[in-house]
Amino acid sequence: MTVPLRILLIATMLQGSHSISAAADAKGWFEEDCSGTTFQVAKFAGALPGQYLVLRLASGSPLAAHLFEGAGWLDVEGKRCSGVGKCQAGAQAKILLSNTKGSKRISGKYTVNFNGRSLEGQFRVKYRRKNPPAICE
């Protein structure tokens, strides 16, 4: 095999493996308010164009408490949305928070059941500041 052909073969393999690994994590954002944390996950496996998942962790304690406790799978409210006000509620939804980079990025896994059809995957989201910021008492 000639050297240029080897380089082309290696470059093709690297490009293919990058797109596979990049597709493994759905991306999106999260924000906190006084009653919990909302995760919005876009470009997940099986999504139609414009669809996104909304996962709502209702909690009296800050998100950081769940991250550092290693709480395991957490029950959340899950919805699949295709626009403002056009959402389908999931029968059961859970998230597993697994990794953080400070308080700005969180990764984990999700599972949402829609009447027998289950969506599962990984996500990597970044913090989005709520505007105006929530003032909790």
Q: Which domain holds residue 70?
A: 25-127
Q: Are strands 25-33 and 73-81 parallel, antiparallel or unpaired?
A: unpaired
Higher pLDDT, 7 or 32: 32
Per-residue confidence band for 47, with pLDDT thresholds at 50, 70 and 90:
confident
Contacts (Cβ under 8 Å, ≥6 apart) of 66 = 57, 59, 74, 97
CA–CA separation, 82 vs 87, rounded Å?
Answer: 6
pLDDT by residue (tens digit) across 62-101? Answer: 676 666 566 789 999 999 999 778 999 999 999 998 867 6
Task: Return the structure tokens found at 44.
Answer: 């997940």
18 inside domain: no
Give the pLDDT score at 115.
86
Asked whether residue 34 is domain-assigned, the answer is yes
Structural domain includes residue 133: no
Query: Is the pLDDT higher at 10 or at 71?
Result: 71
* Confidence check: pLDDT of 113 > 60: yes
